[in-house]
Amino acid sequence: MVDYIGTARLRELVSLIGPARFIEALAGEIDADYRRWHEFEKSARLASHSAAGVIELMPTSDGKLYSFKYVNGHPKNTAVGLLTVTAFGVLADVATGYPLLLSEMTFVTALRTAAISALVAGRMARPASRVMALIGNGAQSEFQAIAFHRLAGVRELRLYDADPHATAKLVRNLTRLQISDLAVTRCASTMEAVRGADIVTTVTADKCNATILTPDMIEPGMHLNAVGGDCPGKTELHADILRSKDVRIVVEFEPQARIEGEIQQLGGSGQVIELADMLLTRQAARSNDREVTIFDSVGFALNDFSALRYLHRLNAEHPDGGQRIDLIPEPDDPKDLFAGLAHDRVPARRRRFA
């Protein structure tokens, strides 16, 4: 039997400790895993692209546990009432190859993306950063808002989305959370939202080389959390922002970011820092308060590994409501797999053809 976390169980686990604390704990797991970066198998994700979107597999292992995530990105799905991103993941035991956990990861992807965004901003943004512009107010936006308030000290959000209904949705959900020390302002343009911001998070969904931020919008000392550009031909920052000599760029895994991140616009040029090197203090997060820092985040398999391992442990710590599924056969004789299909082994209530 294999542990199973569906959407209902995930909601239970998050509600047990609250979304902010859940994200904070998840950020701690991610931080710890990046600090043992050398233990992990690393590869760019396997992507299948179409005109409509992308389907990807994201595997990694630390030699003891193995994980993978299946995830899609289809920006036009919302027009027909479907989510842009859906995902599920598996955590397995390397010694036996047996899966330990099958989990939903649509919610989890949003949670872990917010966790790593705020984790990195807490190190790269200026210490006194309190104002964040949030450009793109869709499915990821609430998670980013909660994470940056909890982990990075943000106390004012300046919101903009080309779709005013998305912004209204975000404001409504943030109001329900009753975060008393978080001010929220709706803005009429990206330019208005970023003016005076310490941190700018871009989390848009269109699969195109969009220009969400241009050089004239960037102020000295800003930290840019570029989340929305995450596949070939999908970016958010004008290339001249990346080419500036006063910019420091951090990525999760450089070979993947060169294909899918903002830095795909630079070809093979431009110096970047991998997150593990920054966390292990081999590279500074920023050199001074006027330097512009960028986290070019496309999502990496290690983030999902951390999330799945955390979920597996949390699920075991709170067994009430947990489920297990018969994903793997359990024959009496492991060399006689065929016997497990025998008619007399199937419970009567499951027999469809009597």
Residues annotated as catalytic (active site), given as ranges: 230
Q: Which residues contact 74 (CB under 8 A, 6 or more apart)?
A: 52, 53, 54, 82, 84, 85
Are 184 and 174 contacting, i.e. CB atoms less than 8 angstroms apart? yes
* Token pair listed for 336: 């006689």
* Separation CA 76–CA 89 (nearest Å): 23
Residue 180 exposed, middle or buried by CB count within 10 Å (0-12, 13-18, 19+): exposed
Give the bridge partners for 83, in sequence order.
Answer: none
Distance from C-alpha of 23 to C-alpha of 199, rounded to nearest angstrom:
19
Q: How big is the chain, counted in residues?
A: 354
Strands (E), 217-319: 223-226, 235-237, 247-251, 273-274, 292-296
Torsion angle (degrees, nearest 10) of CA 11, 46, 253, 144: -30
